[in-house]
Structures are given as structure tokens and as C-alpha cells.
């Protein structure tokens, strides 16, 4: 068995004295693991850093085997992104989410979103607001890919798309200002940058914090708690880094 395609490094872990097991997100084969012989060597170690894109050739006798990766560098982002503490947390939190996906289950939309966010971080240094917005949108896409999509396009009560300012914590559906006014203390806030009518608006720190509260509730309830896992601590660290005291 053999295939070859680009993959974005999520993590590595030591295997024996000289080798590593590489975890990568690929476009057509999803999150995939493989053994890299000599992965701890001075030559290979810089290329196998989280956030880098590699051309991966995978070989195994049978498809269910772990198999071996032969990696070739394509885009080396890790050094520039992880020069900033926020960039290090960025890569860690994205990897923590993607690790919840079944291995070898293709999710091309998440691969492309991951690549776009890492490329943005590489091109613009580390711009906290842009990175925060990107992660909120990534988490919404991730929830959708996990089968817990939020419906933020129209009011759950009226079906209208105007003045969407709330989200039901039970259904994950948007609620308009008028329909939700009587339940203000029971509903989540829908930041304008996530509402259909506010897609082009540049979010402030308060709106970004609301976005993270929104995605965090559904991530904890539907992704991490059912697996008896806590929310990734690097997510909290990332939010604190990019939002400060917001």
C-alpha cells in the first residue's frame, strides 16, 4: 500500500531512540499517523515541527498498519509562527480539536481552514484579533464537521434573518432580538461578526470573547465531555493571550 499527498504536521511523539510517530492532517485522508524513521535526527527534526506542510509518502504492507512516512518539506511555517507565544498556542489548540476526529476520516474543509489560518499567521506575523476571529470560525466549522452544526442563518422562532442577536444554548440556533427579549438571561449572545448581516464587520475584543463563549459551550458539551476529556488548556491560554482582559 502506498500513497503520497501534502500533510500539515499536528504533532510528533518519540518512538524508540531515533524515530518518531508523526500526526498530520491531510486533504484527502484526514488525520493520519505514520512512523518516520530517523525523525529525531538533526536533518529531519526541523521539518517535523507542528504547522509545517510536508509532502508525505506513506507505505505499509496492509492498509490497517501504522505504516511509514517519508516526509519532504513544502512550507516551513513553524519557526515564524511559534516565535510568538500566541502562535504556539494557536497551533496547539487547532491540533487538539483535530485530534478529536477519527483517524483517516477525510475532512477537506477542515484541512483547508487549517491551512488558511496558518498561512494567515505566517503572512501577518501574529495579529491577535485576526487570529482570534479565525479560531472562532474554525471552531464553528469543526462543530459542523463533528455533526453539531450551529444554525446562525435565521431566527429559530420566526424564520427571519434580521436582528439575530442570540443563540439558543439547547438547539444551537439563532434567535432574533424581538423573539428572544423575554429570555435574555437564558440565551447566548450571537456576535455580529457571526451573524449573517454582520459578516463584513471587524469584531472587537468583546465580540470575540462572546464568540469563544458560544463555541466553547458546544465544544465542551458535544465533543470533549462525551469523551470524558476536559477542554484543552491551551484553548484557555490562547484566549487569554489574544484577548487579554476582554
What is the average pLDDT value for the chain, to the nearest integer? 94
What share of the chain in percent tops pLDDT 90? 92
From 27, 42, 76, the end of a domain falls on 76
**Cα–Cα dist 10/68, whole Å:** 16
pLDDT in tens, 54-108: 999 999 999 899 999 999 999 999 999 999 999 999 999 999 999 999 999 999 9
Domain count, the chain: 2
Domain match, 84 and 21 both:
no
Residue at which a domain ends, from 76, 95, 128 = 76
Q: Which residues have C-beta within 8 Å of that of residue 76, sequence separation ≥ 6?
A: 46, 47, 49, 52
66 and 105 inside one domain: no
**Does residue 128 share a domain with residue 18?**
no
Q: Sheet holding 188-189: strands in order across?
A: 174-176, 164-167, 188-189
Which pLDDT score, from 0 to 100, does residue 198 have?
46
* Predicted local distance difference test score (pLDDT) of residue 197: 54
What is the pLDDT at residue 202? 78
User: Mean pLDDT across the stretch 219-241?
Assistant: 97
Residues 96 and 208 in one domain: yes
Asked if residue 164 belongs to a domain, the reply is: no
Same domain, 135 and 111: yes
Give the domain CATH number at 38.
2.40.50.140
Residue 123 confidence (pLDDT) above 60: yes
Locus of grid cell 455580529: 192
On whether residue 163 sits in a domain, the answer given is no
* Residue 183 lies inside a defined structural domain of this protein: no
| pLDDT per residue as tens digits for the range 22-32 | 999 999 999 99
Whether residues 20 and 108 share a domain: the answer is no
- In this prediction, residue 142 carries a pLDDT of 98
Q: Which domain holds residue 147?
A: 80-151+190-243
Same domain, yes or no, for 32 and 110? no
* 66 and 94 belong to one structural domain: no
216 and 198: one domain?
Answer: yes
Tell me: do 63 and 111 sit in the same domain: no
Residue 33 lies in a domain: yes
Residues 49 and 141 in one domain: no
Residues 114 and 206 reside in one and the same domain: yes
Amino acid at each position: 500500500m502506498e500513497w503520497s499527498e501534502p500533510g500539515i504536521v499536528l504533532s510528533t511523539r518519540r518512538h524508540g531512540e531515533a524515530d518518531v510517530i508523526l500526526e498530520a492532517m491531510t486533504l484527502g485522508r484526514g488525520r493520519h499517523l505514520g512512523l518516520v524513521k530517523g525523525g529525531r535526527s538533526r536533518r529531519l527534526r526541523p521539518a517535523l515541527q507542528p504547522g509545517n506542510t510536508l509532502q508525505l509518502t506513506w507505505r505499509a504492507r496492509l492498509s490497517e498498519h501504522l505504516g511509514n512516512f517519508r516526509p519532504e518539506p513544502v512550507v516551513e511555517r513553524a519557526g515564524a509562527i511559534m516565535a510568538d507565544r500566541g502562535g504556539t498556542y494557536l497551533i496547539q489548540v487547532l491540533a487538539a480539536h483535530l485530534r478529536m476526529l477519527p483517524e483517516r476520516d477525510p475532512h477537506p474543509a477542515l484541512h483547508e481552514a487549517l491551512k488558511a489560518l496558518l498561512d494567515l499567521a505566517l503572512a501577518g506575523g501574529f495579529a491577535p484579533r485576526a487570529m482570534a476571529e479565525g479560531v472562532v470560525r474554525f471552531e464553528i466549522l469543526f462543530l459542523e464537521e463533528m455533526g453539531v452544526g450551529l444554525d446562525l442563518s435565521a431566527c429559530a422562532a420566526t424564520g427571519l434573518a434580521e436582528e439575530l442577536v442570540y443563540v439558543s444554548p439547547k438547539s444551537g440556533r439563532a434567535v432574533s432580538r424581538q423573539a428572544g427579549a423575554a429570555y435574555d438571561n437564558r440565551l447566548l449572545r450571537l456576535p455580529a461578526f457571526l451573524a449573517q448581516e454582520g459578516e463584513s464587520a471587524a469584531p472587537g475584543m468583546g465580540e470575540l470573547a462572546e464568540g469563544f463563549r458560544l463555541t466553547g459551550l458546544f465544544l465542551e458539551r458535544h465533543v470533549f465531555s462525551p469523551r470524558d476529556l476536559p477542554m484543552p488548556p491551551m484553548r484557555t491560554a490562547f484566549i487569554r493571550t489574544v484577548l487579554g482582559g476582554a
